[in-house]
Amino acid sequence: AQKVTQAQTEISVVEKEDVTLDCVYETRDTTYYLFWYKQPPSGELVFLIRRNSFDEQNEISGRYSWNFQKSTSSFNFTITASQVVDSAVYFCALTPNYGGSQGNLIFGKGTKLSVKP
């Protein structure tokens, strides 16, 4: 069975604080993709990052960074120097990798991040 767990339901921080969103996944597939999406109050899911299970390099994009650890089945997301505009629900998702092609996404329940000024 495949499953994504986001144990943090809600997090509240003050602007400029760093915050880490946790994601733990379960899968029996040997190859898979992991994703993070952002869902602002407007409702549209915005793609942030995709990571192939073969690639365990961490990634940094501006204030965002991702830590992929296959040994602990975790794919955590850190926002450095948070801003009010980062307030949203963040979803971690998993899909099997079928020879380079993906299947449907399996989402966690999301973490609601509130950044206060």
Partner 1 sequence: DTGVSQDPRHKITKRGQNVTFRCDPISEHNRLYWYRQTLGQGPEFLTYFQNEAQLEKSRLLSDRFSAERPKGSFSTLEIQRTEQGDSAMYLCASSVDGARGTDTQYFGPGTRLTVL
CA atoms of 107 and 37, how far apart (whole Å)? 10
Residue with tokens 């767990």: 5
| Cα–Cα separations (whole angstroms), residue 9 to 1, 18, 23, 100, 103 | 22, 17, 11, 32, 26
User: Segment 22-41, which members bind partner 1 (CB under 8 A)?
Assistant: 35, 37
What is the closest distance, in whole angstroms, from the C-beta atom of residue 44 to partner 1 in the complex? Answer: 5
Position 70 contacts partner 1 (CB under 8 A): no
- Spell out, one character per residue from 42 to 61, where the chain touches partner 1: x when CB under 8 A holds, - when not: xxxxxx--x-----------
Task: List interacting residues with partner 1 (CB under 8 A).
Answer: 4, 35, 37, 42-47, 50, 91, 93, 98-110
